[in-house]
């Protein structure tokens, strides 16, 4: 028998302050339900691992000599877990009171669900669009691109982000954000850990895709709430993150979307996606570099 109902897994890379707040919020929840917390430190250069050992001795800390990435870190924690279910949580995310208990009850009441996602809020209390429809080429064309800025209310972005969805209502959705993602015991037994081909980005989309493929549902649970400060780790290396995001998106498309197309069309679809994502990523990297130059000159 597992020792706990739930294992909370957290990956940390140079986010000491955020990680401390994250663990403080979890500490408040101790006693509300049966759970353990595992922190995987991905070779941080700040005081993150020492801080965890000193202030949170009840947390299991797995120090790494290299950065395993989001997927590798969470997979390692899941392989060593002592809980039945798993809750993947970002180090820059804070659970609200009752969040873990609510997700556990929802999982126990609905064995048809493989993955559950809570409502995510920005630090200012505004809504984060954390449940979405599966991506498609048109959504990528308009999402955070010059074309999207020309047509900010385009239906492709609105549909992908589910902007017209009532986020106060529980519902089945395509996928939920890996910043706070609950995976059930039944799904883990069927699918196992996340695809290690993803270093980071799109692993959450892929895992939800596999849940649906295996006959499980993915559910959005707004009664459970988490505040999430986006990008505290990724902002430390923006261009590297842009590259990894587009690489992961291409892998997701090739793995899951291309096989649904007619065989004759697949080579063309792969080539088109590769060129489109390479172009999109290059534009983001060029913009980041230009912004860096502008900041340097403005500081003189």
Predicted confidence pLDDT, tens digits, the chain (300 residues): 689 999 999 999 999 999 999 999 999 999 999 999 999 999 999 999 999 999 999 999 999 999 999 999 999 999 999 999 999 999 999 999 999 999 999 999 989 999 999 999 999 999 999 999 988 766 666 666 666 577 767 777 788 888 889 999 999 999 999 999 999 999 999 999 999 999 888 999 999 999 999 999 999 999 999 999 986 555 556 778 888 888 888 888 889 888 888 999 888 888 877 887 777 777 777 776 776 666 665 555
Task: Kindly state whether residues 20 and 47 are assigned to the same domain.
Answer: yes
**CA–CA separation, 208 and 219 (whole Å):** 10
Query: Residue 77 is inside which H or E element, if any?
Result: helix 69-79
In a domain, 155, yes or no: no
Number of domains in the chain: 2
CB 229, CB 93: distance < 8 Å: yes
CB 170, CB 103: distance < 8 Å: no
**CA–CA separation, 168 and 81 (whole Å):** 32
Q: Which structural domain range is residue 242 located in?
A: 236-298
**What is residue 299's predicted lDDT score, i.e. its pLDDT?**
52
Structure tokens at 87: 């809750």
**CA–CA separation, 90 and 180 (whole Å):** 7
CB 110, CB 186: distance < 8 Å: no
Task: Kindly state whether residues 106 and 217 are assigned to the same domain.
Answer: yes
**What is residue 1's predicted lDDT score, i.e. its pLDDT?**
61
**What is residue 160's predicted lDDT score, i.e. its pLDDT?**
80
Domain boundary among 214, 229, 244: 229
In a domain, 141, yes or no: no
């Amino acid at each position: 028998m597992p020792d706990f109902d739930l294992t909370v897994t957290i990956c940390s890379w140079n986010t000491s302050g955020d990680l401390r707040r994250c663990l403080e919020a979890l500490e408040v929840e101790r006693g509300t339900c049966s759970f353990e917390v595992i922190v995987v430190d991905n070779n941080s250069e700040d005081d993150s691992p020492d801080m965890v050992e000193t202030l949170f001795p009840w947390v299991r800390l797995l120090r790494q000599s290299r950065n395993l990435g989001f997927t590798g870190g969470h997979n390692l924690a899941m392989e060593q877990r002592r809980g039945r279910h798993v809750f993947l949580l970002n180090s820059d995310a804070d659970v609200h009171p009752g969040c873990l208990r609510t997700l556990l009850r929802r999982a126990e009441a609905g064995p048809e669900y493989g993955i559950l996602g809570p409502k995510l809020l920005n630090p200012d209390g505004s809504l984060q669009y954390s449940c979405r429809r599966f991506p498609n080429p048109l959504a990528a064309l308009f999402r955070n691109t010059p074309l999207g800025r020309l047509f900010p209310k385009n239906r492709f972005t609105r549909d992908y982000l589910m902007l017209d969805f009532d986020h106060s209502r529980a519902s089945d959705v395509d996928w939920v954000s890996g910043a706070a993602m609950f995976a059930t015991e039944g799904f883990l037994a069927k699918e196992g850990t996340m695809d290690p081909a993803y270093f980071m980005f799109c692993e959450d989309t892929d895992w939800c895709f596999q849940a649906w493929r295996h006959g499980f549902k993915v559910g959005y649970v707004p009664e459970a709430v988490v505040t999430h400060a986006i990008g505290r780790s990724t902002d430390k290396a923006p261009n590297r993150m842009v590259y990894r995001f587009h690489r992961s998106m291409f892998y997701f498309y090739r793995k899951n979307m291309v096989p649904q197309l007619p065989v004759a069309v697949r080579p063309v679809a792969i080539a088109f996606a590769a060129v489109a994502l390479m172009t999109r990523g290059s534009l983001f990297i060029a913009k980041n570099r230009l912004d860096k130059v502008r900041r340097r000159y403005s500081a003189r």
